Amino acid sequence: MTGALDGIKVVDLSRILAGPWASQMLADFGAQVIKIERPSTGDDTRLWGPPFIASASSKQPPQAAYFHCANRNKQSLALDISSTQGQQIIKSLIEDADVLIENYKVGGLKKYGLDYHSLQQLNPKLVYCSITGFGQDGPCAHKAGYDAMIQGEGGLMSLTGQSDGEPMKVGVALVDIMTGLYSCNAILAALLARGKTGRGETSQGEIGQGQHIDIALLDVQIAALANQGMNYLTTGENPARLGNGHPNIVPYQTFATVDGSLILAVGNDLQFERLCQVAQHQTLAQDPRFKTNAARVKHRTELIPLLAKIIAANSTQYWVKLLEQVAVPCGPVNTLEQVFNHPQIKHRNMVRQLTNEQGEEIVTVASPINLSQTPLQYHSAAPALGQHNEKILSQQLGYSADEISLLRQQGIIS
């Protein structure tokens, strides 16, 4: 079986996480993704450890586990794009490419002739995705953006943490990951809008038109405020931090048990009644303060201590077993060791084995996407820096062995 994006060629000029997350999704779908990296050092995240999957050598930088989370199924071309020859190689790759992804500062690629307007003239069907902190225009467009600062500036940290504690960021780079997901969706939409049926042609045989995608981390964070954003726009009041509580549903949070923590996600009044029955405190469900969700939200400070005392008397599994029998959503708060040993995670094949350049097995977390007719591809681990230099230059661009050797001597490739 071929992948859903078989025949799509992606030139990836992005680094760190948001862009590589998007391009990894495209690679999983079967696209050819050529990752352009700096000679000698490569993507910054190769160095973001420990832990490291591979140590540095005389010819290679180290390979941090971080780098491997977002770069499987790609080809690495270690290329100095600040050089005239390096720019020409990029342009040669762009001539028949479908997508370019970049996360340089606004206008940063124009001096190399690799900006959207320059490359669009070279290849009108190119879908060009720019990822920045604040967007291509506006008073903050010139600023660099990083996940943690965007979590702060975009309001997410103000919502996260204990009510009497300091604002907290999420435990993973969530804004970068969401930006990668939005970017991938936008790229797929642009490919559909272009009328993609083969090598850039519509069903009538006409060349499809590409476009420029402008994705900003701050915009993504604002969009992902979801119900909290609407809560503010509706009331004009800043939502308070509620720890593990929910602003619109009660009880919907963690509770301490004898041996750990339980997450309760009681989504309606019937589920609350069942919870009270299992807990042998049916009177709570009849109390006017707690009978409806709206009442429970209003009186959360009275209800939560009562539930906390009840739940603390037994183990996590005690509650999980009883509550699952009456269809009350709940679960344990697992460590990652427990997560990766979870029978459902194992059944769903969420951990895969991939092979690197040396033939070694590398474990990776799989994509959650399952397609019946065009299954996702898992053909290679994240590449070594410049692993595909010769293959790309010789097979795709027609460079001779001597020309490739000269590029290496000049430091244009590594």
| 126 within a domain of the structure (yes/no) | yes
Using CA atoms, how far apart are residues 249 and 234, in angstroms rounded to an integer? 17
Residues 6+ apart with CB under 8 A from 284: 276, 290, 303, 306, 307
**Residue 19, phi then psi, degrees to nearest 5:** -65, -50
Q: What angle do CA 157, 158, 159 make, to 5 degrees?
A: 90
Based on the fold, state whether residues 49 and 184 are members of the same structural domain: yes
Q: Which residues pair with 233 in a beta bridge?
A: none
Query: Which helix (DSSP H) or strand (DSSP E) does residue 324 occupy?
Result: helix 316-325
Residue 230, in any domain of the structure:
no
386 has a pLDDT exceeding 50: yes
Instruction: Verify whether residue 176 is a known catalytic residue.
Output: yes
In the chain, the number of structural domains is 2
Same domain, residue pair 323 and 353? no
For the four alpha carbons of 147, 148, 152 and 156, in that order, the dihedral sign comes to: positive
Same domain as 301, residue 357? no
Tell me whether the omega of the peptide bond preceding residue 305 falls within 30 degrees of 0, making it cis: no
Give per-residue pLDDT as tens, 126-167: 999 999 999 999 999 999 999 999 999 999 999 999 999 999
User: Does position 3 have pLDDT exceeding 80, yes or no?
Assistant: yes
Question: What is the per-residue pLDDT across 15-73, written as a single tens digit (0 to 9) for each?
Answer: 999 999 999 999 999 999 999 999 999 999 999 999 999 999 999 999 999 999 999 99
Residue finishing a domain among 277, 305, 333: 333
Label the pairing between strands 127-132 and 212-216: parallel
- Chain segment 221-243, per-residue pLDDT in tens: 999 999 999 999 999 999 999 99
- 325 lies in the same domain as 399: no
| Within a domain: 233 | no
Q: Is the pLDDT of residue 304 over 60?
A: yes
307, 333, 359 - which closes a domain: 333
Q: Is the residue at 148 inside a domain?
A: yes
| The pLDDT of residue 206 | 62
**Residue 47, CA distances (Å) to 12, 54, 63, 359, 361 in order:** 19, 11, 7, 22, 20
Indicate if 303 and 362 belong to the same structural domain.
Answer: no
Q: Is residue 340 part of a domain?
A: no
User: Is it the case that residue 211 has pLDDT exceeding 90?
Assistant: yes
Judge if 176 and 273 occupy the same domain: no
What's the CA gap between 326 and 276, in Å, rounded? 11
Is there a single domain that holds both residue 178 and residue 270?
A: no
Dist. CA 318–CA 384, nearest whole Å: 48
Indicate whether 275 and 319 sit together in one domain. Answer: yes
Question: For residue range 73-129, what is the model confidence (pLDDT) as tens digits?
Answer: 999 999 999 999 999 999 999 999 999 999 999 999 999 999 999 999 999 999 999
Based on the domain organization, do 273 and 325 belong to the same domain? Answer: yes
What pLDDT sits at residue 197? Answer: 43
Distances from the Cα of 187 to the Cα of 24, 121, 184, 380, angstroms: 13, 19, 5, 23
Contact predicate 297/227, CB 8 Å: no
Bridge partners, residue 214, by sequence: 130
Please give the pLDDT value at position 199: 45
Q: Are residues 44 and 184 in the same domain?
A: yes
**Which residue among 310, 333, 356 closes a domain?**
333
Reported confidence tier of residue 195, pLDDT bands at 50, 70, 90: confident
How many Cα neighbours within 13 Å face the side chain of 161? Answer: 14
Mean pLDDT of 313-322: 97
237 is a domain residue: no
Q: 35 lies in which domain range? A: 9-224+348-409
Residue 265, amino acid? A
Asked if residue 172 lies in contact with residue 160, where contact means CB atoms within 8 angstroms, the answer is: no
Distance of CA 211 to the CA centre of its chain: 23
For residue 319, give the CATH number of its domain: 3.30.1540.10
Helix (H, G, I), strand (E, B) or coil at 42: coil
**Residue 316, amino acid:** T
The answer as to whether 196 is a domain residue is yes
| DSSP E strand boundaries for 183-293 | 212-216, 252-256, 261-265
Alpha-carbon gap, residue 60 to 58, rounded angstroms = 6
Q: Is the dihedral of CA 286, 291, 296, 299 positive or negative?
A: negative
Longest Cα–Cα distance in the chain: 84
Do 322 and 207 lie in a common domain? no
Active-site residue identified among 12, 176, 214, 219 = 176
> What secondary structure letter does DSSP report for 10?
E
Indicate whether 405 belongs to any domain. yes
Render pLDDT for 351-366 as a digit per residue (tens, 0 to 9): 999 998 888 899 999 9
pLDDT of amino acid 205: 54
Q: What is the CATH number of the domain that holds 16?
A: 3.40.50.10540
State whether 130 and 97 are in the same domain: yes
State yes or no: pLDDT of 332 exceeds 70: yes
Of 59, 77, 73, which Cα lies nearest the Cα of 24?
A: 73
Task: Check: CB of residue 178 under 8 Å from CB of residue 220.
Answer: yes
